[in-house]
Amino acid sequence: MHDKRPTIQTYFEDLQNRICAKFEEVDGVGKFREDRWSHAQGGGGITRIIQEGGIFEKGGVNTSAVTAQLSPLLAERMNVSPQTIFACGISLVLHPRSPIVPTAHANFRYLELENGDFWFGGGADLTPYYLFEEDARLFHNVWKSVCDQYEPSYYARFKKACDEYFYIKHRREARGIGGIFFDYLRGDFGQLFDFVRSCGDAFLSAYLPIVERRRNEPWGERQRQWQLIRRGRYVEFNLVYDRGTLFGLETEGRIESILMSLPPLVRWEYSHTPQPGTREEKLLSVLKEPRDWIAR
């Protein structure tokens, strides 16, 4: 049963190469720094980080393939008995310097239990600081197209799951404008792997057109401060709620690779509230109430 593992790992590492090469090309200035690491319990990963680029203030595109002992807490959350689990995936987060360019996140992963049971999880979501409806539509339409090739119900289910997952409960607002999210996707390995590959291959086409559209738009100190405050919400979500972060911390993963998702510079200001009628308030209103972004 173990021949699935190298196949998947090879795909994720190839995707990592393609995505990093493209981001370096688009960024023009930044280069990814690579760190290869080993997990104490088996396996390891390839971490690639870009910092202080032309477009990307900070970003990471990581792959890992580890065998790790599940803690009782994690086993309970996964509804399996404590055991050694195989986890292989790609995880990426891009934090542009411009507040006009949204932050993007994607993660695709394969998990396998000792008895050979397996599932896929993953998704991609967008976190704008200023809302451009055409960008949100473009992003969602890409994921709908991918989903529709496999299963008509996927997009609606995974869009809803994304809105529910990337929800900052204590703020009563979403982290961003969503995308797709799925977990415990079980079934025929070949079909599911095809679907996940299509998702991975689609990421650049969902995000780069938005980067290209927005990269040259002007912005100033007001927009920057708003971005720093919104990045605080990103941190709150990732450290308080994100399962992937928790999984990494609980399985004693490589901390710097797990926390690469945190933005480079962040502000917490007491009771910051946008003025009514501003673009900042418009973003918040969309984060309070998820929308349907598919043109009918």
Q: Could you tell me the CA-to-CA distances from 44 to 1, 67, 121, 192 in Å, in that order?
A: 20, 9, 19, 24
Pair 236, 169: CB distance under 8 Å: no
For a copy of itself, the closer of residues 82 and 232 by Cβ is 232
Residues interacting with a copy of itself, by CB under 8 A?
33, 35, 49, 51, 58, 60, 169-171, 228, 232, 235-236, 239-240, 249, 255-256, 259-260, 262-271
> Closest approach of Cβ 277 to a copy of itself, in Å?
22
Q: How far apart are CA 177 and CA 160, in angstroms?
A: 11
For a copy of itself, the closer of residues 185 and 249 by Cβ is 249
Catalytic residue of the set 39, 105, 170, 272: 105
Tokens 């927009």 identify what position? 223
> Closest approach of Cβ 225 to a copy of itself, in Å?
10
> Closest approach of Cβ 74 to a copy of itself, in Å?
14
Q: How far apart are CA 209 and CA 214, in angstroms?
A: 9
* Amino acid identity for residue 25 in this structure: E
One DSSP character per residue, 163-183 reads HHHTEEGGGTEESSSEEEEEE
* Active-site residue, 105 included: yes
Structure tokens at 73: 């807490």
The continuous run of DSSP H or E covering 197 comes out as: helix 189-214
> Closest approach of Cβ 203 to a copy of itself, in Å?
21
Structure tokens at 83: 């055991």
Picking from 112, 134, 138, 111, the residue whose alpha carbon sits closest to that of residue 124 is 138
> Closest approach of Cβ 57 to a copy of itself, in Å?
11
Q: How far apart are CA 1 and CA 276, in angstroms?
A: 58
Q: Is 115 strand, coil or helix?
A: coil
Picking from 86, 76, 143, 89, the residue whose alpha carbon sits closest to that of residue 121 is 89
Dihedral angle, C-alpha 95, 99, 102, 103, nearest 10 °: 20
Q: How far apart are CA 24 and CA 138, in angstroms?
A: 23
Q: How far apart are CA 185 and CA 89, in angstroms?
A: 14
Q: How far apart are CA 162 and CA 178, in angstroms?
A: 6
For a copy of itself, the closer of residues 175 and 214 by Cβ is 175
> Closest approach of Cβ 166 to a copy of itself, in Å?
16
Task: Give the catalytic positions in this structure.
Answer: 105
